Amino acid sequence: MTTFGFQLPNFDYGTPDAEMFAGAVARVRAAEAAGFESVWVMDHFYQLPPLGGAPAPMLEAYTLLGALAAVTERVQLGTLVTGVTYRNPAMLAKQVTTLDIISKGRAILGIGAAWHDIEHVGLGFDFPSVGERMDRLEEALQICRAMFTESAPSFDGRHYHTREVRNVPQPLRGDIPIMVGGGGEKRTLKLVAQYAQLCNVSGDVATIRHKLAVLRGHCDAIGRDPNEITTTRLASLFLTSSPDETAGTKEFIVSAAGPEALTGFNIGQPAELVAQVEELIAAGLDTLIFNIPFGAPDTVTQVGELLVSTFGEGRARLGSTQRTDALRDDQ
């Protein structure tokens, strides 16, 4: 069964700063009412260049998620994804557990190796090599999992250490699902197989098929059932009203970021979007997560109702073992 997630990509709603959170709430509530199963925010301190860069507004992820937990009832909540370099992993586990308590068991930990060097420099965070960031990610995954499931775990790693660390209260479900973001075939997808309940990959249909095949290979190597991992993809979505608007939107993206950027977008009129989503589901995805840059709440509603009415009858919780038939048949 396919589920859908909604990501907040920006906070520049053309309103005063004092009304910025209200704009985010309006979009998130629209997503929940339309049937989106999860809501995600970026864990960045500077806005990304395509959406205005550092001068554009950006809200801190976990403060925002805690506030959103208090004004929603059903959607699961997480970052897509936290950079491992931003927070001590024991503190991160405590923050996510607090989110789980506030939301009554709706938290997901999304985490990755971090990449946005500009904000590291600006905020004074260390930005080590890719290899060290991946090593830190693996240690963080072990610490967070232990803190979610054990009463007083200790950990001695190269980069992080804990001593009989207490995480009270514990997660309401006895655990919190972990999403690892990224499609690196040697390390990232291997970490998914070892430690995560969800993966998040990007790209077109061919790329998705390939990445999921690599993930299955890593699962086979350690004797894990790949059906235990919920497969997700993040993309930007533009709902258009005419062929001319579709063509113009694609031309703008290509001119701004190059033709390869189109693999991270789904653009078209309703029937076109449905066809695109069908192909992605057939490639093995369980959950499709979309942001709708600068979309008003009514656009979020329109997109959610289109997707859920077409593909999402009934609901499955993210991180569960329920999987698509397409992935089972492709093993």
Q: Which residues of the chain have pLDDT under 70?
A: 313-331
Contacting residues for 261 by C-beta, under 8 A, at least 6 apart: 253, 254
Residue 219: give the domain boundaries.
3-329
Could you read off the pLDDT of 66-100 as tens digits, one per residue?
999 999 999 999 999 999 999 999 999 999 999 99
E strands present in the chain: 3-8, 38-41, 76-79, 82-83, 107-112, 155-156, 161-162, 178-181, 198-201, 230-239, 265-268, 287-291
Helix H segments across 88-158? 89-102, 117-123, 130-149
Determine the pLDDT at residue 326: 33
Determine the pLDDT at residue 16: 94
- The number of distinct structural domains making up the chain is 1
Could you give the C-alpha distances from 78 to 3, 7, 100, 261, in angstroms and in order? 15, 9, 10, 25
C-alpha 170/C-alpha 119 separation (Å) is 32
C-alpha 104/C-alpha 73 separation (Å) is 9
3-state secondary structure of 33: helix
Amino acid (1-letter code) at residue 198: L
Determine the pLDDT at residue 321: 35
Q: Which CATH number does the domain housing residue 36 bear?
A: 3.20.20.30
